[in-house]
Amino acid sequence: MPKINIKEMGLYIHLPYCVHRCIYCDFNVTVLSREEELSWYLKVLQKEILFYAQTYPDKIIDTLFLGGGTPSLFSEQHISDLISFICKHFKTASSLEISLEANPCSATLVKLKGFKEGGVTRVSFGIQTFHPKHLKTLQRSHSQEEALLAYQLAREAGFDNINLDLIFGIPHQSVQEFQEDVRRAISLGPEHLSTYHLSVPQNNPLYPILPLEEVSADMYEWVMDFLPSQGYGHYEVSAFAKPSFQCAHNLKYWKLQDYLGLGVGASSYVTTPQMPWGHHFKNTGSLHVYGEKVQVEGSAKGQEEILTKEQAQKEYLLTQLRLTEGVSFEAYEERFGVSLMKSYGSVVDKLLTWGLLDSSEKVLKLNHRGSLTLNKVLVEFM
Ligand code: SF4
C-alpha cells in the first residue's frame, strides 16, 4: 500500500465572474452581467459543498483557496458566509490557510476588512505589471495607482500575508521594464511573489507580437537570481516567498496531495482507500450545465480518471520537479514502494547528460538550465 496521507485535503473554490475578459485569459471566466448571478452561484456552490462533505466525511480541509475569475467581486458578506458554510460542513484543520484572489479594482477597504474578519488569511493580487502601456496591452481593468492603493488597503485591513502576481514576456516589454516591475513590487514588501511567463495559443491576437524566447529567458534568468538575493526563496518554477510564507495550498498541487475543486470547471485529485493512487475529476466547464447538474444531482463531474500506480508515479515526478527542492529519492520510494531510478533511470541519466537535471545522493532536481527549458525536461518523462 502507498504511504500517502489521505486525511488532509486542500479545497479550491472557483468563483468565475470577472468584469470583462482580459485578452490573454484562458481561465474559466464568465463576464458578470447582473449582480444576482453572484448569489445564485453561491447557492449552487452550497449544494455542491454539501454533496462532497458527505462524500468525504473523513477528510480534513487544511487549505482553502478562493480563486477565479475575480473572487473580490463578491461582497464581504458573501465570502464570509461561504467560509462559514464550508467550516460548518467539512472538518477543518485549526491551522487553516484561506487564500483569496483579488483584483485591485474591486478591493475596497470595507471589502478587505470584511474578508479578513470572515477568515481569509492570505490575499493574492493580480497586479501583472505596473507599466500603464503593458496593463493596456493585457487589457487589465486596473491602473498602476489602483494596484498600489489596493496593496496599502490590504495592509490597513490587517493582512500580513500578501502575494503579488506579475507577468513577464508581455509584447514590447523590455527586460529593464520587467526588472522595474519586480523592484517596484518588492519595494512594497509583499510576503510572496509569483512571476508568470505570458503564454497564449497561436490563435490569440497577442501571439504574433510576443517577445523572442531569448528575451523572456533573460527575464526569467534574472528574476531567478534577483529575488532570492532580496530574501524571497525560489521554491517553485514561478513562486518566490519570504521564509515560512510559501503557499500551502499550491504546494498540494506540486506535491500531488489531495485537493478537491468545486465550482464550474474546477479540477480535483483525491485519494481514497479504494483508489489509493488517486483519481482526477473535473467539473463541467459550462456554467449553465454546472448549475443544472448540481441542482439535480448535487455534483457536476464532467470527466473522471482513476490513476494507476504508474500514472501516479509519473504525475508525482512531473509536478514535484517544479519545486526547487526537487524529488527526494527516499520520499519517492516510500510513496511508491519502488526506487525512482528503477522507474525512470534511463530518462534521468539522459537528462543528467544533457545538463538539465542535478542529482545528489538524496534528491533529483532541475538546475538553472533545466528550469529555463522545463517543457523539454517534462516531455522526456511523458
Ligand atoms: S481578471 Fe484574471 S481571471 Fe479575470 S479575465 Fe482577467 S486574467 Fe482572466
Q: What is the pLDDT of residue 2?
A: 53
Q: From CA 251, how far away is CA 241, in angstroms rounded?
A: 12
Q: 112-127: per-residue pLDDT in tens?
A: 999 999 999 999 999 9
As given in the structure block, the three cell numbers for residue 322 are 517544479
Say if CB 93 and CB 60 are below 8 A apart: yes
Protein residue with least CA distance to atom 5, ligand 1: 21
8 A C-beta contact, residue 366 and residue 355 = no
Q: Are strands 8-15 and 279-283 parallel, antiparallel or unpaired?
A: unpaired
Q: Which atom of ligand 1 is nearest to the CA of 21?
A: 5
Is the pLDDT at 257 greater than 70? The verdict is yes
- Mean pLDDT on 214-235: 96
Candidates 9, 13, 41; CA nearest to 99 is 13
Dihedral (CA of 236, 241, 246, 249) sign:
negative
In this predicted structure, what is the pLDDT of residue 376? 85
Residue 88 predicted with pLDDT over 90: yes
Q: What is the mean pLDDT of the chain?
A: 95
Nearest-atom index, ligand 1, CA of 103? 1
Rounded Cα distance, 185 and 290, in Å: 38
265 lines ligand 1 (CB under 6 A): no
Q: Tell me how far the alpha carbon of residue 49 lies from the centroid of ligand 1, in angstroms.
A: 24
| Cα 305-309-314 angle, rounded to 5 deg | 85
CB-based contacts of 17, cutoff 8 Å, min separation 6: 29, 30, 31, 32, 37, 38, 41, 68, 69, 70, 73, 74
The verdict on the CB of residue 16 being under 6 Å from ligand 1 is no
Q: Which three cell numbers stand for residue 357?
A: 537535471
Closest-CA residue, ligand 1 atom 7, reads: 25
Residue 152: how many CB atoms within 10 A of its CB? 11
Write down the pLDDT at residue 101.
Answer: 98
Residue 269 to residues 93, 176, 255, 289, Cα–Cα distance (Å): 19, 40, 11, 22
Confidence of residue 36 (pLDDT cuts 50, 70, 90): very high
Closest ligand 1 atom to residue 68 Cα is 3
Rounded to 5 degrees, what angle do the CA atoms 345, 349, 353 make? 175
Q: From ligand 1's centre to the CA of 77, what distance in Å?
A: 22
At 328-375, the pLDDT tens digits run 999 999 999 999 999 999 999 999 999 999 999 899 999 988 888 888
For residues 41 and 290, the answer to whether their CB atoms sit within 8 Å is no
Q: Is the CB of 172 under 6 A from ligand 1?
A: no
Mutate to test the pocket of ligand 1, among 15, 17, 20, 25 (most ligand atoms within 8 A of CB): 25
Segment 263-268 shows an average pLDDT of 98
pLDDT of residue 372: 84
Whether 126 lines ligand 1, by a CB cut-off of 6 Å, is yes
Which of 5-19, 155-169, 173-187, 291-305 has the weakest average pLDDT? Answer: 5-19
Percent of all residues in the chain with a pLDDT value above 90, rounded to a whole number: 94
128-181 tens-digit pLDDT: 999 999 999 999 999 999 999 999 999 999 999 999 999 999 999 999 999 999
- pLDDT in the model for residue 382: 82
Chain CA centroid to CA 214, Å: 26
| Residue 124 contacts residue 163 (beta carbons within 8 Å) | yes
pTM above 0.85, yes or no: yes
Place 259 in a pLDDT band, splitting at 50, 70 and 90.
very high
What domains appear along the chain, each with residue ranges and CATH number? Answer: 8-253 (3.20.20.70), 310-381 (1.10.10.920)
Q: Which of 6-10, 97-101, 330-334 has the lowest mean pLDDT?
A: 6-10
- Strand ordering across the sheet containing 327-328: 327-328, 363-366, 357-359
Cis peptide, bond prior to residue 69, ω within 30 of zero: yes
Ligand 1 contact via 18 beta carbon (within 6 Å) = yes
3-state secondary structure 54-111: HHCCCCEEEEEEEEECCHHHCCHHHHHHHHHHHHHHCEEEEEEEEEEEECHHHCCHHH
